[in-house]
Amino acid sequence: MAKPDGADKGSFDLDKFRRLLQLMEKHGVTEANLQKDGESWKVRRGPKQVAVAPDVTLPPPVVAAPAPASAAPVAAETPAKPAGITIDAPTVGTFYSSPTPEEPEFVNVGSTVQPDTTICIIEAMKVFNQIPAEKAGRIVEVLVANGDPVEFGQPLFRIESV
């Protein structure tokens, strides 16, 4: 026998599902988990992000020959820290170095920037965000390539004070 509201137990209400998807789209929600009366819905929108670990074959470990007894200990060398400070990505998305492919890049190595200087665009979900330098200085290194995906906090540029 049918329920009073016309929905059979175990049937799937396609109209409710469409409304849920429309609300998710409208409010930018990418995942929803709903449960009621033993019914459970889990809905995800957008591309599935899969991290793939590179296939790395490590060489066999190298065993250092023992130092002669008369040799003085050698101080371990620390790698030189690159000069300057970094400008990091304020959001995840795709890095673009120019407004359009035909236009010149916002900045290059040697460009002087002020805190309000636009240095790149990061596109996320079809929204193009102009990224300001937020620091004054001279660009000494560009750390990502045009079209590369970037993560929150990833260094984009290295600058030094002028």
137-142 sheet: strands from edge to edge: 85-88, 155-160, 137-142, 112-113
User: Looking at residue 56, what is its pLDDT?
Assistant: 57
Residue 55 within a domain: no
Total tally of structural domains belonging to the chain:
2
**More reliable by pLDDT, 15 or 10:** 15
pLDDT digits (tens, 9 = 90+) for 54-110: 555 666 666 666 655 555 555 555 555 566 789 999 999 999 999 998 999 999 999
User: Looking at residue 1, what is its pLDDT?
Assistant: 46
User: Looking at residue 7, what is its pLDDT?
Assistant: 47
User: Looking at residue 2, what is its pLDDT?
Assistant: 46
What's the average model confidence in pLDDT over 20-45?
72
The domain of 134 spans 85-160
Q: Give phi and psi for 24, each to the nearest 5.
A: -60, -45
Q: Based on the domain organization, do 97 and 154 belong to the same domain?
A: yes
Q: Based on the domain organization, do 40 and 93 belong to the same domain?
A: no
Residue 57 within a domain: no
Q: Residue 39 pLDDT more than 60?
A: yes
Residue 31 within a domain: yes
User: Looking at residue 37, what is its pLDDT?
Assistant: 74
Contact 129/121 with Cβ under 8 angstroms? yes
Residue 1 within a domain: no
Q: Using 50, 70 and 90 to split pLDDT, how confident is the model at 119?
A: very high
Q: Based on the domain organization, do 92 and 39 belong to the same domain?
A: no
pLDDT digits (tens, 9 = 90+) for 129-162: 999 999 999 999 999 999 999 999 999 999 998 7
Distance CA 160, CA 162 (A): 6
Map 43-80 to HEC letters: EECCCCCCCCCCCCCCCCCCCCCCCCCCCCCCCCCCCC
